[in-house]
Amino acid sequence: MHVTTVARAPQTGPDARPAVEDSTVWISWPNEAECERFARQLAGLLRPALAAGDSIVIELRGTLGAGKTTFTRHLLRALGVQGRIKSPSYAVVEPHEAEGLSMWHFDFYRFNDPQEWEDAGFRDLFASPGLKLVEWPDHAAGLLPPADLALHLAPQGEHERHVSARAGTAQGRDCLTRLHDAGWGPMQAPAHASAEVAP
């Protein structure tokens, strides 16, 4: 199996986690139903690690309207979250609990004060067990730990999305390998891949 790798600078600081060479799977969602199917598959892979008390960080990248929050809702539903799942755009973070699992949905679009990272207890949240889904991670650059997975969504018309799913840790790479083995995309950039989803 061919794996696309990209050199990654080592992470430093108190929140540093082991990083690996990047692995990338390239995926196409022709419609929202396929996005939901991918979310269910990913949830099944994440559940055992989350139940064991691991911390998993997934970055969600893409322009406004790319589908980051839609994907998040499908993933949280697949992990058992019930009731309304609202966007954390103004609150920065929305916590969720389901089936003994802890999950947080972050949206750093309006985040611009590094002191808030400490005051709001985000350092402790990211160090604790559970799933952290992070929209607009670049707005908290230098504060976040390395992501296990980073999904970059690029709209192709009204419904289709091209997605690059990149691993940044050994745990993320294992997850991507399992997704690839389940039939989700090549592990090298297809000819149609746009620069917008380049890792």
- Strand, coil or helix: what is 140? helix
pLDDT in tens, 64-90: 989 999 999 999 999 999 988 888 877
DSSP of 1-44:
--------PPP-STT-------EEEEEEESSHHHHHHHHHHHHH
DSSP of 151-173:
EEEEEETTTEEEEEEEE-SHHHH
Residue 135 in domain: yes
Residue 2 in domain: no
SS3 content of the chain, % helix, strand, coil (to 5): 30, 25, 45
- Strand, coil or helix: what is 137? helix
Q: Give the count of domains, the chain.
A: 1
pLDDT in tens, 47-64: 999 999 999 999 999 999
Residue 58 in domain: yes
pLDDT in tens, 128-181: 999 999 999 999 999 999 999 999 999 998 899 999 999 999 999 999 999 999
**Contact (Cβ atoms closer than 8 angstroms) between residue 40 and residue 195:** no
**Contact (Cβ atoms closer than 8 angstroms) between residue 60 and residue 144:** no
Nearest to 135 by CA among 104, 160, 113: 104
Residue 14 in domain: no
Tell me the pairing of strands 149-156 and 130-135: unpaired
Q: Is the pLDDT of residue 7 over 50?
A: no
Output the pTM of the full model.
Answer: 0.84
Residue 5 in domain: no
- The CATH number linked to 32 is 3.40.50.300
Nearest to 133 by CA among 196, 87, 72: 72
The answer for residues whose C-beta is within 8 angstroms of residue 24's C-beta and 6 or more apart is 4, 6, 164, 165, 166, 167, 176, 187, 188, 189, 199
Q: Is the pLDDT of residue 16 over 60?
A: no
Burial of 109 (0-12, 13-18, 19+ CB in 10 A): middle
Confidence of residue 5 (pLDDT cuts 50, 70, 90): very low
Residue 30 in domain: yes
Residue 45 in domain: yes
Residue 139 in domain: yes
Q: Which domain holds residue 133?
A: 23-197
